Amino acid sequence: MKTFDIAVFEGDGIGPEIMGPTLDLLDQVAATSGTYALRPQIAPAGAAHYAKTGESLPEASMDIARGADAILLSAMGLPDVRYDDGTEISPQIDLRKALDLFAGVRPVRITPGQRTPLKLDGGQHIDFVLIRESTEGLFFTQGQGAVTECDATETLRITRATSEKLFRFAFRMAEKRKAAGHGPGHLTCVDKANVFRAFAFFREIFYDEARSFPEVTPAHAYVDATALWMVEKPWVFDVMVTENMFGDILSDLGAGLMGGLGMAPSADIGEDHAVFQPCHGSAPDIAGLGVANPFAMILSGAMMIDWLGDRHDLPQMVADAERLQAAVDTVLADGTTITRDLGGQANTAQAAAAVADALGDV
């Protein structure tokens, strides 16, 4: 039996409250399958850890992350705990940089019973993935922009090496979704190539890479039109790939379509490492009450076992990821055991227990 080491960052605020039940569910899934096991190792980090020790991401925790097969990270950061220069504590961003996690994967799915501001008539199927480049673009000079009394400058950087890796990752994902019957095999490059030469360069590399993936239909769209279509006709998308800042903004729009941050999972993936975490923050306003929605964390855990299964050629793990996702879908469709942010009355433990029950039936 294959055992995977999982570095676990429990996080701040509601972080540990949603991590606990997620680890239990992942254990349940692995135990049922009997073909693999997950060995979690807690890696201390975050804002509360910084307040206690003066370190937000200790080297020992970084070592655990580097040595693990995958990294599961809960919400991090607290509004009142900051570095001396006033910036927020965000070890998740430090990890992204240190481990070169260039592909930010943000799935957008709306299943029956899920709250959404969209007016759907039941016939439209919304299941697409946004891939956000996560190491360069307009975040290239993050924290180092040049600011004088009269002007401020930040640099947008697009490199051929990172863009090629990013597009290959995105084409493979479109290919994989098509093979699994989850999408038509379309990949859209989202840019602003009509205005910026850097984006014309980005798009050119995209079409160069497309030649190696004949099973996938490549297309391009401007970012402004994409924002409009995500609201007007989101069912037309399969996989989209874009620059860092555009992806940052569009992924929150995607979370909004899914009924809020409590439903939005994510992954930050590189060639050697990957971090899986919910899109939301540590929600200090509800921390300690036991009422946080655990679904984004649970769905991030499902993404983790899907990625591990794909990487290690273990189809059982990929199937288990689908089971866990289907169990969350079942609880949402039923609607009686959902948390307050989704319009229900359940607390975190009850919502997670409902997923555990549903796992038996999917």
Judged by beta carbon, residue 137 or residue 260, the one nearer ligand ATP is: 260
The nearer residue to ligand ATP, 189 or 261, going by C-beta atoms, is: 261
Q: Which residue is nearest to ligand ATP (CB)?
A: 281
Residue 299, both tokens: 């769905």
Contact assessment for residue 301 and residue 4, using Cβ atoms and an 8 Å cutoff: no
Q: How far is the CB of 40 from ligand ATP (least distance, A)?
A: 20
Alpha-carbon distance of 289 to 348, in angstroms, equals 9
Confirm if 14 and 287 have CB atoms less than 8 A apart. yes
Helix (H) or strand (E) holding 174: helix 160-179
Whichever of 91 and 218 has its CB closer to ligand ATP, that residue is 91
User: Read out DSSP for 175-194?
Assistant: HHHHHTTSS--EEEEEE-TT
Residue closer to ligand ATP (CB basis): 49 or 203 = 49
CB of 28 to ligand ATP, least distance (A): 21
Find the shortest distance in angstroms from Cβ 79 to ligand ATP: 7
Minimum distance from residue 285 beta carbon to ligand ATP (Å): 5
Q: What is the CA radius of gyration of the chain?
A: 20
- The CA-atom distances, in angstroms, between 115 and each of 120, 236, 336 are 11, 20, 13
List contacts with ligand ATP (CB under 6 A). Answer: 14, 77, 261-262, 280-283, 285-286, 292-293, 296, 341
> How far is residue 47's CA from residue 56's CA, in Å, rounded to a whole number?
6
To the nearest whole angstrom, how small is the minimum distance from the Cβ of residue 159 to ligand ATP?
27
Toward ligand ATP, which CB reaches closer, 77 or 185?
Answer: 77
